[in-house]
Amino acid sequence: MSRTLYLMRHAQAKSSAIGGDAHRPLTRRGREEARAAGVLLADAHVDLALVSAATRAQETFDAMGLRRPDGSPVPAQVLDALYNSGTTTLRQRIAQISDDVDVLLVIAHAPGIPALATEFTWAHSGLEADLAQAPFPTATLAAFSLDGSWSQIGDFDAYSYTDPRSPRDSPLSPLGGPRTPRLDSARGAQ
């Protein structure tokens, strides 16, 4: 079964906040970025979102306004573990997702999200990974097709798929390069 994974860096946030980094809210531009990302994913049929507990990540998800085909809001799991997490934690949380979920969105932070997108891309193509390491601005989305179960992401190791002595096909394939939503698409959706 083919599944779709979207990795997203939160939208632009203010540089500081009372209460510290985890409480930084989105800027006006950040809200526009999030709405534009919501437009990009409007027809993606996202089943579930994993969202960092940081204010800026939660506000990003809320501003996206994602809906299921029946019109109900896309459910989200807000996880403390995703706040400034590395690739290992991100992979572990994704691996815990039920296989009833076909389309998953993960909203978290740099450097974890860009690094994970690069790992997944590198396992498929070194050249594409080099391109994916280009700037990964706020609200950027990277999409992947996964053949099989979410659980296999838990111990995913890109090197396993790039060793010329034991070639294997990665279960993850990039669906184009990372995309940063155009703000004019958000304005048209208001």
pTM: 0.91
* Cα separation values, 69 from 51, 63, 179, Å: 21, 18, 23
With tokens 């279960």, the residue in question is: 171
- Whether the bond between 167 and the residue before it is cis, its omega within 30 degrees of 0, is no
pLDDT at 139 over 90: yes
CATH numeric code, 2-160+168-188: 3.40.50.1240
pLDDT in the model for residue 136: 84
User: Is 70 exceeded by the pLDDT of residue 175?
Assistant: yes
For residue 130, the surrounding DSSP H or E stretch is helix 126-132
- Spatial distance between the Cα atoms of 177 and 114, rounded to a whole number of angstroms: 12
Cβ pair 113, 106 in contact under 8 A: yes
What does the longest C-alpha to C-alpha distance in the chain come to?
53
In this model, does residue 98 exceed pLDDT 70? yes
* Amino acid letter, 48: L
pLDDT for residue 123 is more than 90: no
pLDDT at position 181 is: 87
Query: In the predicted model, what is the mean pLDDT of residues 173-179?
Result: 84
Residue 161 has pLDDT above 80, yes or no: no
What does the mean pLDDT of the chain come to? 89
Single-letter residue type at 33:
E
Higher per-residue confidence, 47 vs 180: 47
Residues 116-123, mean pLDDT to the nearest whole number: 87
Amino acid at 97: I
How sure is the predictor about 130, in pLDDT bands with cuts at 50, 70 and 90?
low
Grade residue 121 by pLDDT with cuts at 50, 70 and 90: confident
φ and ψ at 13, to 5 degrees?
-120, 160
Look at residue 188 in the predicted model and tell me its pLDDT: 47
pLDDT tens-digit map of 53-67: 999 999 999 999 999
How high is the pLDDT of residue 178? 82
Is the distance from CB of 145 to CB of 3 less than 8 angstroms?
Answer: yes
Average pLDDT over residues 15-31: 95
